[in-house]
């Protein structure tokens, strides 16, 4: 049975500049306990074997801490090897069809996009969800000018796929992203670098749930 993206979805993206190894695993586990629904393991420096070991450690920690999905950034082979819940593809990464052949029909395939045209292409290729950014100025992509929630609004009007906004998101601006049409937000620093990741995740999730309830989509989902 194909996996479904949780809605509303709080996604945590890992960053080796903030935490690595056991410390990363600990922080991710705390964040999941606080309400994170989706973890994206993103580490472009680790070779495949070490990335697989880290993914397996995260899977174990997540299973103990709570219910959350794990997707691997770019590496469909590693996602398949550890039976992760899916893969997150960059805009210039593998075609969705190629990743699908590696992972099979039951896994999630996300595509990062930065334009309406990219979103339409991802939907045509068979992606399951979109990660759209950058919403606001962010230190992780300093050269990428923020597109703002208006990009989410344009994509939501023309594309049926679930949208996760990313880039400079925290508790004070997540509502703007959700009210523009996103079904969730992805964060890095505001949770992963927090002194207490569990509490930071709890606050972010509460902000997300409140914004989601105001859109009316929560009630609509219950009636489906």
d(CA 163, CA 125) in angstroms, rounded, equals 16
Per the structure, the count of domains in the chain is 1
Band of pLDDT at residue 1, cut at 50, 70 and 90: low
Torsion on CA atoms 95, 156, 204, 5, rounded to nearest 10:
-50
Q: Is residue 103 part of a domain?
A: yes
- Its sign, for the CA torsion 52, 86, 97, 164, is negative
Q: Is residue 155 part of a domain?
A: yes
Band of pLDDT at residue 218, cut at 50, 70 and 90: low
Residues 190-201 pLDDT 10s: 999 999 999 999
Q: Is residue 121 part of a domain?
A: yes
Q: Is residue 3 part of a domain?
A: no
Q: Is residue 63 part of a domain?
A: yes
Q: Is residue 223 part of a domain?
A: no
d(CA 107, CA 42) in angstroms, rounded, equals 18
Nearest to 205 by CA among 165, 168, 174, 159: 174
Torsion on CA atoms 73, 76, 79, 84, rounded to nearest 10:
80
- Domain of 111 in residue numbering reads as 9-218
Residue 86, domain CATH? 3.20.20.70
d(CA 119, CA 135) in angstroms, rounded, equals 15
Contact 155, 177 (CB under 8 A): no
Whole-number pLDDT of residue 145:
77
Band of pLDDT at residue 66, cut at 50, 70 and 90: confident
Q: What is the pTM of this model?
A: 0.94
């Amino acid at each position: 049975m194909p996996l479904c993206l949780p809605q509303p979805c709080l996604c945590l993206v890992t960053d080796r500049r903030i935490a690595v190894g056991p410390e990363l695993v600990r922080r991710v586990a705390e964040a999941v306990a606080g309400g994170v629904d989706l973890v994206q393991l993103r580490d472009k420096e680790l070779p495949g074997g070490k990335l697989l070991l880290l993914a397996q450690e995260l899977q174990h920690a997540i299973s103990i801490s709570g219910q959350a999905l794990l997707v691997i950034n770019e590496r469909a082979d590693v996602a398949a090897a550890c039976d992760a819940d899916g893969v997150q593809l960059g805009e210039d990464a593998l075609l969705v069809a190629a990743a699908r052949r590696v992972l099979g029909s039951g896994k999630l395939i996300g595509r990062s996009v930065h334009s309406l045209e990219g979103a339409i292409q991802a939907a045509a290729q068979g992606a399951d969800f979109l990660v759209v950014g950058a919403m606001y100025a962010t230190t992780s992509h300093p050269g990428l000018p923020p597109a703002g929630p208006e990009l989410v609004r344009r994509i939501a009007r023309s594309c049926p796929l679930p949208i996760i906004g990313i880039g400079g998101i925290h508790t004070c601006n997540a509502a703007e992203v959700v009210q523009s049409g996103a079904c969730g937000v992805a964060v890095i620093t505001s949770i992963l670098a927090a002194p207490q990741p569990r509490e930071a995740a709890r606050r972010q999730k509460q902000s997300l749930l409140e914004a989601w309830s105001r859109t009316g989509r929560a009630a609509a989902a219950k009636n489906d």
